[in-house]
Amino acid sequence: MNSNKLSKFLLTPLLALLAFTAHADVPGYTEPYKTITVSAAEAGVIKELPVEEGTVVKQGQILARLDVAQLDAELEIAKIQGGLQRTKVERLDELARSQRAAKEELERSRADLKIREAEIRKIQAAIETRTMRSPVNGIVTEIKRDLSEAVSLSSPHVLTVVQIDRLIVNLFLPPFRAEKLTVGGSATLLLGENSGRVPAIVEFISPVTDAASGTVRVKFVTNNTAGKLRSGVTAMLAE
């Protein structure tokens, strides 16, 4: 077989595949709307871990906390000092009204109180930084650290939370099909082996056609508040 015949022999099925791809949908899969790696912002030792894999969590719920015993002690001291300074300001204010205290002394005392209050907020912020909360309503799917285990800034991953009250599906469609869709518009997806019909919303249409496949990525979002749909199920766009 000469080189020309060999090239034709190899290219024919490839061209046929490309032609098919240009007119056929490429199946996608349902995915969590968000997959979030919850990490420690500071190095430390895990002191609290009130969740486990499979725990359903609410936005803002505490997932883990580093040891903050020293910060708690510093906060207690700062609050006591702030209380004493506040009392001093109140007494000086009374004296200043009867002109038994200099105005400058009262102003310095008020400035000191603001500094004490700022120190309290600083310590509270440091404690909150060491507290990991869920950024979404979701489910804990992976825990990477145990109680009393150290977390470093080079390896801060503590756990993973997925948001599945909505699912996303990325489909790679022929341009002529993508052009019929609009962002915010409605669509119907076929999910799973039984091709169950599920309503969805078009969230994103790529402005770029992939040169290799000749397809356009379209992102769909479907409601899963009831939790009946699973992530990882095959999905296609209904005709």
Domain locations along the chain: 25-33+165-237, 38-66+132-161, 69-129
Which H, E and C letters describe 71-85, residue by residue?
HHHHHHHHHHHHHHH
Token pair of 12 as six digits: 């024919």
- Could you tell me which residues are beta bridge partners of residue 28? 235
Using an 8 Å Cβ cutoff, are 130 and 41 in contact?
Answer: yes
Residue 123 has a pLDDT of 97
The closest alpha carbon to 142, from 229, 59, 49, belongs to 49
pLDDT tens digits for 84-117?
A: 999 998 898 888 888 887 888 888 999 999 999 9
Q: Which residues contact 60 (CB under 8 A, 6 or more apart)?
A: 133, 134
**3-class SS at 16?**
helix
Reported CATH class of domain 25-33+165-237: mainly beta
> CA separation (Å) from 183 to 165, 166, 169, 223, 228?
20, 17, 14, 16, 25
pLDDT by residue, tens only, the chain of 239 residues: 555 554 444 444 444 444 444 455 678 999 999 999 999 999 999 999 999 999 999 999 999 999 999 999 999 999 999 999 999 988 988 888 888 878 888 889 999 999 999 999 999 999 999 999 999 999 999 999 999 999 999 999 999 999 999 999 999 999 999 999 999 999 999 998 777 899 999 999 999 999 998 999 999 999 999 988 999 999 999 87
Which residue, 183, 181, 155, is CA-closest to 238?
Answer: 181
Model pLDDT, residue 4? 54
CA distance 216 to 14: 20
Task: Look up the pTM and report it.
Answer: 0.77
What does 115-140 look like in DSSP terms, one character per residue? Answer: HHHHHHHHHHHHHHHTEEE-SSSEEE
Tokens of 190: 């076929």
Q: How far apart are CA 191 and CA 163, in angstroms?
A: 19
Q: Which of 229, 220, 227 is nearest to 201 (CA)?
A: 220
Residue 109: DSSP 8-state: H
What distances in angstroms separate CA 21 from CA 9, 26, 175, 180, one per listed residue? 19, 7, 11, 18
Beta bridge partners of 169: 30, 220
Cα 145 → chain centroid: 19
Which amino acid is located at 88 in the chain? K
- What is the reported pLDDT for 1? 52
CATH architecture classification, 38-66+132-161: Beta Barrel (2.40)
Contact assessment for residue 101 and residue 95, using Cβ atoms and an 8 Å cutoff = yes
**CA 131, 132, 136, 139: dihedral to nearest 10 degrees?**
-130
The pLDDT, as a whole number, for residue 24 is: 56
